[in-house]
């Protein structure tokens, strides 16, 4: 940036703030102005560790002391807090999922537009060089028409939670689909385009789901599956198959940025100066840093961030539709008759926002 960075507040001092956002800001030599958490003692400990000016359990008394805010609160608070900040002219980087409903997403977009505030969505995987190269390769039809795809992402749940909100249906909005799935489905929509119809199953018996399965038909005609889990070690890659070949890309932190293709010549496709054969490997921490840098450049220049709110809203719309049409996942230790599985039918996407 050519000018000093804005004064930044972090709202929510859970694990993602402690492990990702605060270290990323430190690498950028930026000290937050305000840390906010209902556990103000925790907020103060982090403030002391990172040289933050102030810690509080409420951002509203100090709103004149910051120009931009990272909203890393429980999912149910993303929309009301972000809308309030945007209406005050504060620039916002909101963690994924952007909100819990398309209506809430529309409210965020409208507030940002009215106040000319920059709103970015924390879908940091789009900043990965491999993800961006793949988008360019697909746009260049390096595989020919895409015919099928297979996304798998899952590990036994081990995120170092500070609170229990991830397992509270009201606060989290859902389980693995709303959490990990926000990233996975964003990549699916970004790379491959709009969904025409789907079938969705999960294991939520009144609570939040730990396992989910989504069968999708795209507007392009390609068909595939997305499997997500908090209980099992899955392959953690996405396989995209086209008429002229296939590409497999890593999704989790262990194999992020990994690429394999058949035929291998597909990897020679250029995205700018980058080839798939010479991919810069980045850690998750680097992606958070790149995400913040992109947001700050957008604030300085007035341009759109790499992940604008209209794009963040697309995965929310798909998640919302899945929950609306959900069916029980058939599990080997539960007989279908016991589970009383309802009859399967297709969900349709008449209300999904168009790709941009």
User: Which tens digits make up the pLDDT trace of 323-355?
Assistant: 999 999 987 776 655 555 444 333 444 334 343
Say whether pTM exceeds 0.95.
no
Query: What does residue 212 show for φ and ψ, rounded to 5 degrees?
Result: -145, 145
Which tokens go with 194? 């709009």
More confident residue, 26 or 331: 26
Q: Give the start-to-end residue ranges of the domains of the chain.
A: 8-125+290-307, 126-281+314-348
Average pLDDT for residues 270-297, to the nearest whole number? 86
pLDDT tens string 152-169 = 999 998 877 777 777 788
Q: How far does the chain reach from its first CA to its final CA, in angstroms?
A: 27
From the candidate CATH numbers 1.20.1250.20, 3.40.50.300, 3.10.620.30, 3.30.360.10, the one assigned to the domain spanning 126-281+314-348: 3.30.360.10
Average pLDDT, the chain: 90
pLDDT at 68 over 70: yes
Please name the residue that has the structure tokens 């958070």.
288
Over residues 30-35, mean pLDDT: 97
Q: How far is CA 297 from CA 63, 179, 305, in A?
A: 22, 27, 8
Other residues' Cβ atoms within 10 Å of the Cβ of residue 285: 14
The residue whose two tokens read 């907020």 is 43
Cis upstream peptide for 263 (omega within 30°): yes
Residues 6+ apart with CB under 8 A from 243: 143, 144, 145, 147
| Lowest-confidence segment of 2-16, 82-96, 315-329 by average pLDDT | 2-16
CATH tag for 8-125+290-307 (out of 3.60.20.10, 3.40.50.720, 3.30.930.10, 3.90.25.10): 3.40.50.720
């Amino acid at each position: 940036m050519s000018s000093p960075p804005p004064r930044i507040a972090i709202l929510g001092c859970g694990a993602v703030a402690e492990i990702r956002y605060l270290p990323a800001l430190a690498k950028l030599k930026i000290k937050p102005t305000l840390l906010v958490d209902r556990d103000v003692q925790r907020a103060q400990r982090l403030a002391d560790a990172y040289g933050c000016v102030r810690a509080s359990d409420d951002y509203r008394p100090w709103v004149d002391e910051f120009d931009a805010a990272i909203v890393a609160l429980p999912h149910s608070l993303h929309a009301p807090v972000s809308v309030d900040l945007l209406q005050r002219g504060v620039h916002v980087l909101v963690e994924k999922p952007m909100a819990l409903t398309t209506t809430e997403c529309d409210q965020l977009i409208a507030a940002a537009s009215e106040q000319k505030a920059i709103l970015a969505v924390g879908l940091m995987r789009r900043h990965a060089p491999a993800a961006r190269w793949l988008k360019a390769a697909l746009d260049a039809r390096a595989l020919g028409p895409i015919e099928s795809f297979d996304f798998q992402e899952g590990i036994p749940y081990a995120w170092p939670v500070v609170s229990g909100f991830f397992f509270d249906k009201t606060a989290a909005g859902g389980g693995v689909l709303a959490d990990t799935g926000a990233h996975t489905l964003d990549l699916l929509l970004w790379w491959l385009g709009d969904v025409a119809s789907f079938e969705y199953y999960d294991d939520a018996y009144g609570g939040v789901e730990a396992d989910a399965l989504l069968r999708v038909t795209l507007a392009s005609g390609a068909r595939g599956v997305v499997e997500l889990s908090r209980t099992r070690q899955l392959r953690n890659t996405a396989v995209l198959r086209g008429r002229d070949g296939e590409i497999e890309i890593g999704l989790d932190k262990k194999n992020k940025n990994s690429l394999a293709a058949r035929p291998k010549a597909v990897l020679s496709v250029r995205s700018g100066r980058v080839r798939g054969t010479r991919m810069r490997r980045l850690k998750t921490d680097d992606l958070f840093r790149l995400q913040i840098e992109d947001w700050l450049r957008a604030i300085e220049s007035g341009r759109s961030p790499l992940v604008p709110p209209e794009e963040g809203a697309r995965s929310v719309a798909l998640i919302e539709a899945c929950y609306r049409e959900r069916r029980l996942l058939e599990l080997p230790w539960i007989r279908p008759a016991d589970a009383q599985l309802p009859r399967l039918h297709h969900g349709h996407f008449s209300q999904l926002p168009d790709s941009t």
